[in-house]
Each structure stands twice: as C-alpha cells, then as structure tokens.
C-alpha cells in the first residue's frame, strides 16, 4: 500500500494543490490527513491565500481515499465542511509491512506515547517540523512537516510511504 501523508494544511489551497500534484505523480492508495486542515490557529498569522472552502472542496473530491484525524485547530464546525470523518483523535492503518498509529501530535507523540497498540510507526504532525527516526524501543516516529506553514527552518512538504520506506517530499 502506498500512502501520502499531509499535515497542517491550515486552509491554504495553493500549497494543498502542489502537494497533491506531487503525490498524484507518485501514486497512492490512501491519503492520510494528520490534522489542522482548515483553521490556522491563534498563534499563527492568517496564511497567504487562505481559503478553507476551497481546501474542503479539494479534499472532498478525494474522500474515498482519505483517512483523517483531528488536529488541535480542527473543530466540530470544520467537520460540517467535509464529506469524510475527521474528528477522531487517532486511527490505526495497516499497510502490510507497517502498522501506522495516526494522530495529530498534540495528544500523542514521542514524549507522550499512545496508550493503545502503537503499531510500528507513530505518524503525526503538529510541530510543523519534519522528522523520521526510530526510538530505542523500536517505534518509528514520522512527521511529514507542514504543507503550508513550515517551522524550524523546514520547507513546505508532505510524507510518502512507498510500501517499504517512509520519505518526505518538498513542495
């Protein structure tokens, strides 16, 4: 199974379109959305070209392939915009060689491991800083960074699982 991981879109359709164009070229079976899809939060300025209605329409057109989790900036009113569920704090996705525990990262992360069966990869966003590492316990941590508001000197990007390895692509 091939998976595209997008996180922290924050309502910017131009960056979402760029990430999806690259992911489409790679090919994917599932589109994992790791939260903070529409709203930018009070700590971030309003992103350039902010258009949450357009982001919702773009994602709704791909609803059959989406697995989504709620971010700290996502609210019940955001769910009204989507034709797929996105209010769960986590999801588990079996991808053959890997099992992914999907979450945004504000509740569960490397420093606060989930209480349930973690699988082999803890995939999250939230920090807007990409990360791909393995902990001493063997758990892999994968953060694709932010599609639209990168932090820590990183670039806009998304993650990709080709069925064997995890990578990050810059957009």
Whichever domain contains 14, its CATH number is 3.60.21.10
Summarised one tens digit per residue, pLDDT across range 22-70 is 999 999 999 999 999 998 777 776 767 889 999 999 999 999 999 999 9
C-alpha dihedral sign at 28, 97, 109, 136:
negative
Are the CB atoms for 50 and 38 separated by under 8 Å?
no
Q: What is the pLDDT of residue 116?
A: 66
pTM of the model: 0.95
* 62, 30 contact by CB (below 8 A): no
Burial per residue of 45-62, b for 16 or more beta-carbon CB atoms within 10 angstroms, e otherwise: eebeebbbebbbeebeeb
Task: Write the pLDDT tens digit of every residue in 68-84.
Answer: 999 999 999 999 999 99
- pLDDT over threshold 70, residue 117: no
pLDDT (average), residues 96-119: 88
How many distinct structural domains can be found in the chain? 1
pLDDT in tens, 121-156: 999 999 999 999 998 888 899 999 999 999 999 999
**Termini Cα distance of the chain:** 22
Give the pLDDT score at 138.
85
Domain interval for residue 143:
3-170
pLDDT value at residue 136: 84
b/e code 134-147 from CB counts within 10 Å (16+ = b) = eeeeebbbbbbbbb
């Amino acid at each position: 199974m091939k998976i595209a991981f997008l996180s922290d879109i924050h309502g910017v359709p131009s960056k979402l379109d760029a990430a999806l164009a690259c992911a489409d070229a790679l090919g994917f079976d599932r589109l994992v959305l790791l939260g903070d899809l529409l709203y930018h939060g009070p700590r971030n300025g309003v992103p350039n070209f902010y258009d949450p209605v357009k982001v919702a329409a773009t994602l709704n057109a791909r609803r059959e392939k989406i697995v989504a989790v709620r971010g700290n900036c996502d609210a019940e009113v955001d769910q009204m915009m989507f034709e797929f569920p996105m209010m769960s704090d986590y999801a588990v996705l079996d991808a053959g060689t890997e099992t992914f525990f999907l979450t945004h990262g504000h509740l569960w992360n490397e420093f606060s491991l989930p209480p349930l069966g973690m699988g082999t990869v803890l995939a999250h966003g939230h920090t807007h800083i990409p990360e791909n590492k393995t902990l001493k316990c063997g758990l892999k941590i994968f953060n694709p960074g932010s599609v639209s508001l990168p932090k820590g000197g990183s670039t806009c990007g998304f993650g990709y699982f080709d069925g064997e390895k995890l990578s990050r692509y810059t957009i």
